[in-house]
Chain A
Amino acid sequence: MQNIEANIVITRNDGKLASISVQMPIWSKQSEFDGNTIVKLPLLGIETVAKNDDDAEIAIKEAIQSFCGVAEKFGEGIEKELQSLGWKLVDSNGNPVLGFCVSETDALLDRLLQTGDNYTNENLEIEEELEHA
């Protein structure tokens, strides 16, 4: 058996990415170096920076939107790029659902993932062409 530790549901309109619903663990800490907040999203291979806890919420949102936008514009699409990070397609009836799955026998990884803060956003809009240049 596998536990799903994170998931992303992708909604497309006429094949074009519209929004995603996301739930995944993230980690943040204050930098001992300059006092900024370092935010890590290891399931997306991203590290970003924020001024404080409130700004970190915005930074996380921007990081996820960036990943999705970049995957669509420069990569092979969100589904494939997530799979290269270890995510699995868990359901593709209707809208594709990708999950980050951990085997029940991998207790250590399971415990590590539990140490993260759970970030949830049920409707994160991805503006594919609006702001890139």
Chain B
Amino acid sequence: MPDPFYPSVDLSFIEHHLVQTGKFAGHYIVGQTITFVLNGPQAIHKRSILIRQLTPGQVCYEQATGLAARFGFMGALLAWLDTNRNWREGAYVQ
């Protein structure tokens, strides 16, 4: 069953961590879609990160955790969710 209670994450938090990779080239916005681009010699599809904001300024949990795993900020993301969404993986905070 789909779970509507997964929290969204602020786009600014995600962007902050992508910029910290040091490979950040820039971004490109079309409507609700923002594509972050990394520097490098690879083809563009290998260094593009597409995020679609279903709510303005928000990244859905599934996309956020995917990016956190790929760019190594899962610990920071879980801490952010605890602090800002009162949410912990596996259990709702009392």
Which A residues fall within an 8 A CB radius of B?
30-36, 44-51, 55, 58-59, 61-63, 65-67, 69-71, 73-76, 81, 84-85, 127, 131-133
CA distance A84 to B31 in the complex (A): 26
CB nearest neighbor in A for B59: A49
Given contacts A66-B33, A84-B45, contact A132 B52 (CB under 8 A): no
Hey, what's the 0/1 contact readout for B46-62 against A, CB within 8 Å counting as 1? 10101010100000111
New contact pairs (17) apart from A35-B4, A73-B26, A132-B28, CB-CB < 8 Å:
A32-B2, A33-B3, A33-B6, A45-B48, A48-B33, A48-B52, A49-B54, A62-B30, A63-B50, A63-B52, A67-B44, A70-B28, A74-B26, A74-B37, A84-B45, A85-B45, A131-B28
B25 within 8 A of A: yes
Shortest Cβ distance from residue B48 to the other chain A in the assembled complex, whole angstroms: 6
Could you count the A-B residue pairs with CB atoms below 8 Å apart for me: how many are there?
A: 106
A36–B32 contact, CB under 8 A? no
B54–A131 contact, CB under 8 A? no
Contact partner, B62, options A49, A74, A84, A127, Cβ 8 Å: A49
A34–B37 contact, CB under 8 A? no
Shortest Cβ distance from residue A16 to the other chain B in the assembled complex, whole angstroms: 16
Offer 11 A-B interface pairs, CB within 8 angstroms, sorted by A.
A30-B2, A33-B6, A33-B62, A34-B2, A35-B2, A46-B50, A47-B50, A58-B32, A63-B33, A131-B29, A133-B29
Which B residues fall within an 8 A CB radius of A?
1-4, 6, 25-33, 35, 37, 43-46, 48, 50, 52, 54, 60-63
CA distance A55 to B52 in the complex (A): 11
B29–A36 contact, CB under 8 A? no
B54–A50 contact, CB under 8 A? yes
B45–A58 contact, CB under 8 A? no
CB nearest neighbor in A for B48: A70
Contact partner, A70, options B2, B32, B37, B62, Cβ 8 Å: B37
